[in-house]
Amino acid sequence: MAKRMKPYAIYCMLYAQCGSSFIVDCMFKGEIFMFATVTLQLANGLWTTFQIFIFTLIFAIPLGLVLAFGSMSKFKPLKYLVQTIIWVIRGTPLMLQLIIIFYGPGMWLGHNIWSGNEAGRITATVVSFVINYACYFSVIFRGGIEGVPVGQREAGQVLGMTKSQIFFKVTLLQMIKRIVPPMSNEIITLVKDTSLARIIAAYELTFAGFSFMKSAGITWPLFYTGVFYLIFVGILTLLFNYLEKKLGYFK
C-alpha cells in the first residue's frame, strides 16, 4: 500500500518540478478564490440583515406611534396597560425576547409556528424586533409630540382645525425634527442588533462571517464582516445628516 504523502513532501516535490513561481501563483489564486467566496457568503448574510432591518422599520414605526398615543391616552386602563407593556419590553434583553418568541410557541402549543426553516427564523426575528423597537420608538414619539408647544395646538383649534389637521399640519413635522437624532441612534443600533438573529441560527451577516472561523479556521472574515457593518451604518449616517439639514427650517 502506497504511503500517504505529507503536505511538506508534496510542497517539496512541487517546488522541485515546477519552481517557486508556480507555487506562489497557485497560492495567490487560492487566496483570491477564498476572498471571493467569503465576499459572496457575507453578501448573502447582508441580504438577510437588510431584510430584518427594513421589515422591522416598516412595522415598528407605525406600531410605535400607536403605542405612543396609547401611553398618552386619557383612558386610564389603556394608558397603564400600554405603559406596562413598554416598561416590560424595554426592561428585558432583546435576545431573551427573541428566544422566547422563537422557541416558546413550539413548547406551549406542541408545534413550531415558525416552521423551523430560514424564512421562519427570519420571520420570528422580525416579530421580536418589531415589538422591541416599537416600544423604544413610542417613547421617542411621545417625547417629540409633547415637545411641541401647547400654544401651537391651541392656535390650530382657534383657527377651526380638526385634531387630525392639527396633528398632521402642526405637530407631526415639528415632531419629526425633534425625533430625528434619537431615532437615528436607535436605527443605527438596529443594524447592529440584527446580529442577535444568530442566536436562533438565522443566516445573517455575523453568522456568515463566524461560519468561516468554524469551517476554515480563519478569523479575517470577522474583520471583513465589520467592514460591511461600517458601510451600512455610514450610509445611514449620511442619510440622517441630510434629513436633519432639510428639516432645519424649523429652527
* 39-86 per-position pLDDT tens digit: 999 999 999 999 999 999 999 999 999 999 999 999 999 999 999 999
**What pLDDT, on the 0 to 100 scale, is given for residue 6?**
47
The arithmetic mean of pLDDT across residues 88-106, rounded, is: 95
For the chain, the maximum distance between any two Cα atoms, rounded to a whole number of angstroms, is 100
Please tell me the distance from the alpha carbon of residue 107 to that of residue 105, in angstroms, as a whole number. 5
Better-predicted residue by pLDDT, 159 or 18: 159
C-alpha cell at 205: 451577516
Please tell me the distance from the alpha carbon of residue 235 to that of residue 70, in angstroms, as a whole number. 33
**What pLDDT, on the 0 to 100 scale, is given for residue 58?**
97
Secondary structure element (H or E) that encloses residue 158, with its range: helix 150-158
Cα dihedral value 224, 195, 59, 99, nearest 10: 170
Better-predicted residue by pLDDT, 41 or 248: 41
The arithmetic mean of pLDDT across residues 180-197, rounded, is: 95
Better-predicted residue by pLDDT, 133 or 35: 133
Homologous superfamily in CATH for domain 42-195+202-250: MetI-like (1.10.3720.10)
Better-predicted residue by pLDDT, 218 or 234: 234
- The strand ranges marked E within 40-152 are none
Whether the CB-CB separation of 38 and 212 falls below 8 Å is answered with yes
The pTM score is 0.83
Return mean pLDDT, the chain.
Answer: 85
Whether the CB-CB separation of 42 and 209 falls below 8 Å is answered with yes
**What pLDDT, on the 0 to 100 scale, is given for residue 17?**
53
Q: Is the pLDDT at 5 greater than 50, yes or no?
A: no
C-alpha cell at 107: 413548547
Whole-angstrom CA distances from 131 to 82, 97, 166, 207 are: 12, 9, 28, 23
Cα dihedral value 48, 193, 207, 47, nearest 10: 20
CA 166 to chain centre: 33
Please tell me the distance from the alpha carbon of residue 194 to that of residue 233, in angstroms, as a whole number. 13
Q: Is the pLDDT at 222 greater than 70, yes or no?
A: yes
Q: Which of 41-50, 114-123, 228-237, 240-249 is least confident? A: 240-249
pLDDT tier, 20 (very low <50, low <70, confident <90, very high otherwise): low
Please report, as a single letter, which amino acid is at residue 78: L
Percent of the chain with pLDDT over 70: 86
The residue written with cell numbers 383649534 in the block is 157
Domains in the chain: boundaries: 42-195+202-250
**What pLDDT, on the 0 to 100 scale, is given for residue 18?**
53
Whether the CB-CB separation of 175 and 184 falls below 8 Å is answered with no
**What pLDDT, on the 0 to 100 scale, is given for residue 7?**
45
Please tell me the distance from the alpha carbon of residue 105 to that of residue 100, in angstroms, as a whole number. 8
Secondary structure element (H or E) that encloses residue 22, with its range: helix 20-71
Q: Is the pLDDT at 14 greater than 90, yes or no?
A: no
**What pLDDT, on the 0 to 100 scale, is given for residue 251?**
56
What does the angle CA 61 – CA 114 – CA 93 come to, to the nearest 5 degrees? 55
pLDDT tier, 13 (very low <50, low <70, confident <90, very high otherwise): low
Please tell me the distance from the alpha carbon of residue 54 to that of residue 190, in angstroms, as a whole number. 10
